Amino acid sequence: MCLTLANATTVLDHPTAPPNHGGYTRTTHHIGHLTPGDLWWPVEEERPRTVTAVHRHHDEITLADQRGAVFAYPIAAVICTAVRDPLPVVECRHGGVRQ
């Protein structure tokens, strides 16, 4: 399963992103919904990090980020996450559509 606005525990806000940084909506999700490629906030003051690995143990879930840092959470945790904005659909010069 991956993060969506529909499976969020809470939809918080949509911060204004600098150009070329892609937008996202700040949310919270049950930790069991995270998969590699999803975004979450292990450190609140920073930008969200990308999940690169998820390991499930009997009473905790560990998430690794793109920097190689590992964070452990209780299996029932609800954590700060982000859902990326969909990519815009752009019409190509030759009439095709790309995303």
- 35-59 pLDDT per residue, tens: 999 999 888 778 899 999 999 998 9
Low-confidence ranges of the chain (pLDDT < 70): 1, 17-22, 87-99
The amino acid present at 79, given as its one-letter code, is: I
Query: Which pTM was predicted?
Result: 0.78
Q: What is the largest CA-CA distance in the chain?
A: 54
pLDDT of residue 43: 85
Res 28: pLDDT = 94
Give the C-alpha separation, 34 to 39, whole Å.
Answer: 8
pLDDT of residue 71: 96
Tell me the C-alpha distance between 12 and 76, whole Å: 20
Q: Which structure tokens are listed for 51?
A: 């999940």
